Amino acid sequence: MLAYLTLIFCCQLIGELIASATGLPIPGPVIGMALLFCGLLLHGKIPEELGGVGNALISNLSILFVPAGVGVMLHVKLIGTELVPISVALVVSTLLTIAVTASLMAWLSPQKAKTDEKSDGGRK
């Protein structure tokens, strides 16, 4: 279990090094996650112990929100004065996320619609 946790952190470290060395606008942990994903693709499956480590990290994910909550409580006065711009940004970004997700789903899944048309002979 410790070996797979070390593997995850090493992938993150390598990602950070790549991001720093190349100046890419992609966060190091994202690059590390992509490296880990490529390694798992080459391996062909997720090792059982790595799955266990991943599940343990996910089950404790809520702990990572504590610093954000403390930051909100620390700057509650500033948030109060900037409530309108923050609210607009949240609503606009949410709507954009929904629109982009819907567009990508429509673009990436045309096969299902074609398969459904063929299965019922084009009649609906």
Give the model confidence (pLDDT) of 78-103 as tens digits.
Answer: 989 999 999 999 999 999 999 999 99
Lookup: tokens for 46? 């997720």
Q: What tens digit of pLDDT does each residue of 38-71 get? A: 999 999 999 999 999 999 999 998 888 888 889 8
pTM attached to this predicted model: 0.56
Buried b (16+ CB within 10 A) or exposed e, 93-124: eeeeeeeeeeeeeeeeeeeeeeeeeeeeeeee
Statement: residue 124 has pLDDT above 80? no
Statement: residue 117 has pLDDT above 80? no
Lookup: tokens for 56? 């343990």
Measure Cα distances from 73 to 63, 65, 88 in Å.
16, 13, 20
CA distance 48 to 52: 6
Residue corresponding to tokens 């946790």: 5
